[in-house]
Structure 1
Amino acid sequence: MSENTKALSTAGVSIWLDDLSRDRLETGNLAEIIETRDIVGVTTNPTIFASALADGDRYAADVEKLKQAGADVDETIEALTTADVATACDVFAGIYRSTGGVDGRVSIEVSPLLANDAAATVTEAQRLHERVARENVLIKIPATQAGLQAIADVTALGISVNVTLIFSLARYRDVINAYLTGLERAKEAGHDLSKIHSVASFFVSRVDSEVDGRLAKLGTEEASALIGKTAVANARLAYRVFEEEFASERAQQLLEAGASAQRPLWASTGVKNPDFPDTMYVTELVAANVVNTMPEKTLEAVSDHGEVTGDTVTGTYEDAEKVLDAIAAEGIDYVEVTELLEREGVDKFEVSWTELVETVQKQLDAAGEKDSQ
């Protein structure tokens, strides 16, 4: 076991892997890194599944069966991805039980094509939840304006949600409000609140990528000094939002009724700028009751040389505010940046979804040609 990942876990960070494939499942790789890297959950998205299905031949037999059964491309994608998620949920079942449902979670995302359609998102979330048929699945819903309603509606049904694509502090407050609203409705409907869990995926590296590009164009000494500081500051202030909102009377009443706080999850933690330390979005965001979901490259970097020194978030809020104020002073509009990142995030997932559809359609077509020979 890695001492660095162990230290991260001891500091209160749940380490999740941002990847899943049938290859990982069938070779025992997932079980191995759970044991050696303190992994206690998995996140997926259309990009991850597009890569898994394009690179591996472990899906061929299932594609053949689905083709023979007359499944179309959407039905095939759902069958393949929910099967992998269900299997991963089983791998994490022990962790799920030992942590009282806090960890041992596996996420699957509704189609990004539904990001601006609340009703369709709710319908698909229900279907995915029923299809996976595991208590420890999390249904990922993007934090778009329409997504906020869907988050409340799906939570009200007693389904655990991973809210994704959060970039701004204001939208994060909206997400927490949607979760609490859903819990209140779930309580009224008689659901067991202790069975409902949620994480709020606050994206990190993409904020620096966008802001730093603008700072570099300014070219001033003041602007250059701010490069690489916005994303961590933004995330640290998000943790303050978490502390404030779940200390409220409204939230405390729900927690006393058996509900769980919606933990912040640091997403997009792979460092994109080679000039930055490759573990910075992990070691600079250590705090109790958070999740950090990492691509394997980042996970291995942390395992190898990540210096975990304890809490690096609480007590930093004043300095974090100064960073955002300095960004504004350079003429960079925080609201415009975060709104842009949300739109781009949905667009990127739609592109990946299209690639996934094209990949699976080719496999179905190949299976059909094989059958006709």
Structure 2
Amino acid sequence: MTEQNPNTRALAEAGVSIWLDDLSRERIATGNLAELIETRTVTGVTTNPSIFAAALKNGEAYAEQLAQLSADGADLDRAVFELTTRDVQAACDLFTPVYQASNGVDGRVSIEVDPRSARDAEKTVAEAGKLAEAVDRPNVLIKIPATEEGLPAITATLAQGLSVNVTLIFSLTRYREVLNAWLLGLEQAHAAGIDLSTLHSVASFFVSRVDTEVDRRLAESSAEGAGELTGQAGLANARLAYRIFTETLDTERWRVLEAAGARPQRPLWASTGTKDPALPDTLYVTGLVAPGTVNTMPEKTLEALADHGEVTGDTITEGYEDADRVLDAIAHAGVDYNDVVAVLEAEGVEKFVTSWNELLETVRTALEDSAAR
């Protein structure tokens, strides 16, 4: 019988759900994803346009479906939609036992709306409904970017009874807005007679990209001690997000919804692979341990955790004062926090659109190759 890795098991026992930030048909077909569930305590999967672009570019596992789509005369958008939703559907099926054992909390697979709709609430809501209908599994999460336009889409999607993964959160102010959009969605769902216990949500707070941008600016700062703040902004920002999360759960607004069966929207730590080789490769895992959270990791980070990650219990809730100090010091070093998070959000949407276009181009080539055979 296979055994769970002690380090990944320790993280799960500390209240952190481990989700893999990757998916491909090859992973599913070869049994690799099943093995990660059995040996690395993986209880969910997140995807994004970049992940699908890489999977389709490098995978032969899609050849048969591509040939069928080509024969059917499918256009690019339909082909991408059907290829990606089939992968997510298969992953949802694989995670069904986890989903059932966790009473719907875990065993979740996320699929993102077309990022080209990130600035259009109406299109985002329509896309969310199409994705949920196509996957047709209770453990799917629809990913919606936390742009200003995405906020009403989050509310509307939840109000329709669909579970949501809110993605691309960088700012503490935006996170408060996301929590409000989530609560408003639950309130509207409840008013419509939807069983709130069936609605789940996570809020994907990005970590390493904050350090990348802040550290770049610190390196250009002439302020005394600026260099000593390198590699600290991402953790500080995320820890303060968790404080906001716990404060939200200590409100009458939440207690009313909880009494009606609502589940908390868990903070999900995303972008947890370290970009700076000078930083520990498990920094954004072992440094962000607290109950009721999710950490979605690329496989490299997951394996680093399994090999040498030291889980020492809660590393968030005792660190609020220090996190405040770090962000204050960064501001005093001349780094504009509001500008940092605005730049990161804009870049995040742009990167996903670029990846989506790469995905379209990859599928276009594959369809043409199938048609030529």
**TM range, smaller chain:** over 0.9
The residue correspondences of 1:2-151 to structure 2 (distance < 5 A) are 2-151=5-154
Q: Deviations over 1:313-357 (max 9, x none)?
A: 002111100000001101111111001100000000011001000
Structure 1 runs not aligned, ≥5 long: none
The residue correspondences of 1:329-340 to structure 2 (distance < 5 A) are 329-340=332-343
Partners of 2:221 and 2:334 within 8 A in 1: no
1:304 to 303, 307, 312: 307
Paired residue secondary structure (1:309): coil
- Count residues in correspondence: 370
Paired residue secondary structure (1:225): helix
Which residue of structure 2 aligns with residue 258 of structure 1? 261
Q: Deviations over 1:111-155 (max 9, x none)?
A: 110000000000000000000000000000000001001000000
Task: Quote the Cα distance in structure 1 between the aligned partners of 2:79 and 2:123.
Answer: 19
2:346 to 340, 343, 348: 343
Give 2:68's aligned amino acid: K
Paired residue secondary structure (1:138): strand
Paired residue secondary structure (1:180): helix
Which residue of structure 2 aligns with residue 240 of structure 1? 243
Give 2:78's aligned amino acid: E
Report the Cα offset of residue 247 of structure 1.
1.3
The percentage of counterpart residues that share the same residue type is: 61
TM score, norm. by length of structure 1: 0.98
Q: Deviations over 1:151-179 (max 9, x none)?
A: 00000000000000000100000001000
Q: Deviations over 1:284-312 (max 9, x none)?
A: 00000000000000000000000000000
Structure 2 runs not aligned, ≥5 long: none
Give 2:161's aligned amino acid: G
Task: Quote the Cα distance in structure 2 between the aligned partners of 1:98 and 1:6.
Answer: 16
Moved more, 63-72 or 298-307: 63-72
Which residue of structure 1 aligns with residue 191 of structure 2? 188
Which residue of structure 1 aligns with residue 368 of structure 2? 365
TM score, norm. by length of structure 2: 0.98
Task: Quote the Cα distance in structure 2 between the aligned partners of 1:226 and 1:50.
Answer: 35
Paired residue secondary structure (1:165): strand
Report the Cα offset of residue 221 of structure 1.
4.6
Which residue of structure 2 aligns with residue 170 of structure 1? 173
Paired residue secondary structure (2:204): strand
